[in-house]
Structure 1
Amino acid sequence: MHNTVKFLQQFYVHFDVNCNGAEIVKGDVECKKKLVQLLEELSLPKGLISLENVEEFSYNRNVGFIYMVHSKEKDRTERTFKKIKQVVSYASEVTAYVEKEKLKKISGVKTKELLIWFLIAEVYIEEGSKEKLRLRWTLVFPRAP
């Protein structure tokens, strides 16, 4: 229990530092506008992040940190990328660090391959190619009962 409390304290300090001075937008329509604007600014595809049911979006340009809150009605938002036949699941809260052509240290996003879920840690455009999008991921191990 002590480790959980310590982790949460570290998370909130980290989160507070990264959101301090951030531009915060609320409301689905305004959040969509800001997200599309940011993706264009970073030269990333518009459809990369789920734009559905976003209630809050914040972006701290100084540290390149983004924070999104999807509607609490659902625990997760799933999206299928038809072109590559891939299901991506977004938690109600998603965070990442952003820079030109890259999202890194992503939390709250995972993808399913066969029957295994993988946490997406980084998304970037391959150097020298404006069309190849690459993912770095980690395996999600199920918890023991």
Structure 2
Amino acid sequence: MAEKEGGIVKKGHQEGTKMSVALLEEFGLPSGLLPLADVIEVGFVRSTGYMWILQKKKVEHNFKMISKLVSYDTEITGYVEKKQIKKLKGVKAKELVLWPPVNQITIDDPPTGKIHFKSLAGITKTFPVEAFAAGQ
């Protein structure tokens, strides 16, 4: 794919996870935002901010602090920039019985301790940033 041209690629779970956490931290996003399992590949194109993650199977993660179940597909893509991820694909958050896709994640700058998840349907949910810290 043209989007992946010039990208840095890490293969395997350990290297891929390390890279995804490093990218989240570099751009001021909480390091527990992408709880991955069985990572095949993580890639990042610095010139465009395009990031992709491939994992063997879909992962569902419950963020206990906010009682929110989030589903991460086998392929996750998006554009990472300072304090936000745009055009996100492959991530869904459970809302009652629906699983609307999350397509943008933004952290307030200057920081207020809040993180916002926006779905294509225009629904925005706001949570405390610390709910997505590593190990949550």
Please state which band the TM-score falls in when normalised by the shorter chain. Answer: 0.7 to 0.9
| Aligned: 1:24 with 2:12 | no
Query: Structure 1: which 4+ aligned runs deviate by more than 4 Å?
Result: none
Q: Which residue of the partner structure matches residue 29 of structure 2? A: 44
- List gaps (5 residues or longer) in structure 1: 1-15, 140-145
Aligned length: 121
Matching residue of 2:42: 57
Q: Gapped runs of 5+ residues in structure 2?
A: 122-136
Larger Cα-atom Rg: 1
Give 2:18's aligned residue.
33
Partner deviation per Cα, 1:39-84 (whole Å, 9 max, x = no partner): 110011000112322110010001100010011xx3x211000011
- 3-state secondary structure, aligned to 2:86: strand
Higher relative contact order (CA 8 A, sep 6+): 2
Of 89, 95, 114, the residue aligned with 1:113 is 95
Identify the structure with the greater helix proportion.
Answer: 1
1:29 CA drift (Å): 0.5
TM-score normalised according to structure 1 size: 0.80
Please report the TM-score for the alignment, with normalisation by the length of structure 2.
0.85
Structure 1 residue aligned with 2:107: 125
CA distance in 1, matches of 2:62, 2:102: 15
Contact 1:24 / 1:59 at 8 angstroms: preserved in 2? Answer: yes
Alpha carbons 2:86, 2:104 under 8 Å: kept: yes
